[in-house]
A and B are shown apart, each in its own frame.
Chain A
Amino acid sequence: MSKDHLFSSYDQLSSTWDEMYSSNSEIREQYDMIIDYLKNTSKKTLSKKEELSKQLFMSQGVTFTVYSDNEGIEKIFPFDIVPRIITAAEWDKIERGIKQRIKALNLFIKDIYNEQFIIKDGIVPADLIYSCPNYLREMKGVKVPHDVYVHIAGVDLIRNNDGEFYVLEDNLRTPSGVSYMLENREISKRLYPGILPRNNVRSVSNYPNLLYKKLQELSYNSNPNIVLLTPGIYNSAYYEHTTLARLMGIELVEGSDLVVKNHFVYMKTTNGLKQVDVIYRRVDDDFLDPLEFNAKSVLGVAGIMAAYRKGNVNIINAPGTGVADDKATYVYVPDMIKYYLGEEPILKNIKTYQLGRPDELQYVVDNIRTMVIKKTDGSGGYGMLMGHEATDEDIKDYLDNLRKKPENFIAQPILKLSTAPCYINGQLSPRCIDLRPFALSGKDGIDICPGGLTRVALKKGSLVVNSSQGGGSKDTWVIQ
């Protein structure tokens, strides 16, 4: 192997699952073809491909703008040219597992905002729900079209050193990243001519059509007016909003384009007001309606919640789904699956300690070097403590703060995220990755786009894949 310059610095992390190498350092079959291609391509050509991918992102406008000193600078999310490959068998389990999970979570949300059987039956404690900041009283008893709350979910999975996929987060609010799934594939087509068809890579390009179909089904109107509500041009996911609107052929609207009259939502057009039937909103619950939530919000529309409760407009995802993807609720998902579906969970949860419980808190404090602590309502990789790399002082400060409201925190053992080969400085190096497949629910069931977004922690040894903290992404191939 030493003669292969490309691999000469591939130092596998200890007791970590590597997507390309098996435990006895043989290349897994699914990686054969791409590795063969990479081996037979000069370093110069590969570096050119890497450069090309950057240029493509820029010229296609797949960027976000960072503003400083009144000057906007276009940035791209880093992209690694080596695809992440998933076999048909692995995908089959992921797909079944996510479908099962989303089905149960959707039933849970419906139950929580209606009869609350799961609380009455003592499976989930009532105070967990009522103390959850993402629980919306405004949703109580609201009849939701076809009982679908979670139309779009982006479930984060990681692969532990046992080779099993674990669910890290369910992301049931407004998960982003799907446009990168689509764009990464378009780039791969240009980087590796002929390789995708020879690998029988499953196509992802149908996602916008599928999403449109799901949105359309949700309206009782046969030709509904569907819009995508964006917080606006300064949002870092604005590229995604414009892309999805364009690919679905629907209108991209901002809060100020909409108005509510007599409990109907309208958009302001050049020939008057036009009724809106379905709103795929990329605005958080909190900003959706200044009359009911954050009064200072200018991103939403006053009166939209009242129109929603009257059934005059459909909001995607339904407000209040955050009650089910809260990190404290996460612990109960396996129980929900058993309770609502009478099935064993297909995908595993990560062992999670609820720090509101004194015994679990004590255990975590005793084993803090092997734990990651998270705020239950946090996201984006912020507000976390990684026990293995924190200083004593960090730990002390964090715990002091935590003890004020321990029920707002959970802890999990630091898992070994699997690694995948990345092309870094002219060589292949292992980097930690996760996987976010996108699941779409409609009145006829759940569909999952084969693959999803693989996020990668580009910093050596880092476990944080979030784009805001040095993460990048890879194209994800489900083969056969």
Chain B
Amino acid sequence: MLSRVANNLIWLERYMERGNGMLSLLKVNYYANQDSPELFSWEPIIRNYNASSEPFHTEDAIECIEFLVFNTGNPNSILNLVIKARENARSVQEHISRELWLSLNNYYLYLTRKDLIKKLREEDPIAFLDELKKYHLTHNGTMDITQERGPAYYFMNVGKFLERVIQISDFTEMKLIEIAKTSDSLEQSFYWKNLLLSVGGYQLYLKTHKSSFQENHVITMIFQDKLFPRSMYYCVSKLGRHINQLIEIQELEKNNTEFLLGKLESTIKYTSIESINEQGLHNFILGIKEDIRNISMSINTVYFSHSS
């Protein structure tokens, strides 16, 4: 596969996955913010996802959603992410399924409708966010059902799970900053619950631990659960599986990507909750992020090593 194509496939999924995560975050924070604006400010989300040179401040929920969905000056706005994802898809059409291209193109056309912003401003904001989210669900489902298991699929999944791992780290860190500001254990438990909701693990948590939000349980589930599809462990092992597939079909050089991944996987799997608490969750996450950066760099060398 062309190196440029591999790169475009990885980024196509990174953009889509980032958009998907942002939409979840916006939806969960909207509900929480309407309950307790003093605890669930929009500021941390804007700080994390405003990549434009202009600072932006608002505590108005609709203004914030509008900014993060439609702002053209922010490279991380949903609109810009989808534009970039579509451009990537457009340039690799001979590698992705027709259905995948069509569904992404339709998402783009929906987002660029002139009257869409009115829908957000005047109607139910949750319905608005759900509608966008549906395009991501369709995207993921379409990819799963129509894309043959080959290099394109594996590279896309590498992008998807890389982004998801980064997202779990980011979401958790955002909450850690808020949690550090309070010593009220009830308030802290709100944040943990909110984190679960943002990563989509709330239901599973209830099933497993009932309605009692204990830090240790939440951390264990989000970072180490084997069956929760948005746990750090699950995503890292999925990432590893797709990278191994690529190595197997000789689309990726073995170099040390495999080693780095194996190391990260066992760190996450075998570090006990006591040991995480001892070093601090923040430091634990920093370590993971560092490893992910190295893995990402080592994949990158694939497309740069042949460029001369």
Contacts and interface: CB of A to CB of B under 8 A. Distances in A.
B1 A269 contact: yes
A259 B4 CA distance: 13
B171 interface: no
Nearest to A268: B306
Contacts of B93: 242-243, 245-246, 252
Interface string B230-264: 00000000000000001000111100000000000
B109 interface: yes
A242 B105 contact: no
Interface in A243-265: 243, 245-246, 249-254, 256-257, 259
Interface string B5-27: 11000000000000000000000
A273 interface: yes
Contacts of A271: 250-253
A161 to B, nearest CB: 43
Contacts of A252: 91-94
Given A242-B94, A246-B93, A267 B2 contact: yes
A245 B91 CA distance: 10
Interface in B254-308: 302-303, 306-308
Nearest to A72: B83
A269 B3 contact: yes
A61 B105 contact: yes
A271 B3 CA distance: 8
Contact of B252 (A72, A238, A270, A273): A270
A193 to B, nearest CB: 21
A233 interface: yes
A248 B183 CA distance: 64
Contact of B87 (A71, A233, A272): A233
Interface residues of B, number: 32
A257 B4 contact: yes
A59 interface: yes
B179 interface: no
B306 A272 contact: yes
Contact of B91 (A233, A269, A270): A233
A58 interface: yes
Given A242-B94, A271-B250, A253 B109 contact: no
Interface in B107-149: 109, 112
Contacts of A270: 1-3, 6, 151, 246, 251-252, 302-303, 306
Contacts of A233: 87, 90-91
A212 to B, nearest CB: 12
Contacts of A246: 93-94, 98
Contact of A58 (B4, B109, B253, B302): B109
A60 B102 contact: yes
A269 B90 contact: no
Given A72-B83, A233-B91, A246-B93, 17 more contacts: A58-B109, A59-B102, A59-B105, A61-B90, A70-B72, A246-B94, A250-B94, A251-B5, A252-B93, A257-B3, A257-B4, A259-B308, A268-B3, A268-B4, A270-B1, A270-B3, A270-B246
Interface of A: 58-61, 70-72, 74, 233, 238, 242-243, 245-246, 249-254, 256-257, 259, 267-273
30 contacts: A59-B102, A59-B105, A59-B109, A61-B101, A61-B105, A70-B72, A74-B109, A233-B90, A238-B90, A242-B94, A243-B93, A245-B93, A246-B94, A250-B94, A251-B5, A254-B4, A256-B4, A257-B3, A268-B303, A268-B306, A268-B307, A269-B1, A269-B306, A270-B1, A270-B246, A270-B302, A271-B251, A271-B252, A271-B253, A273-B306
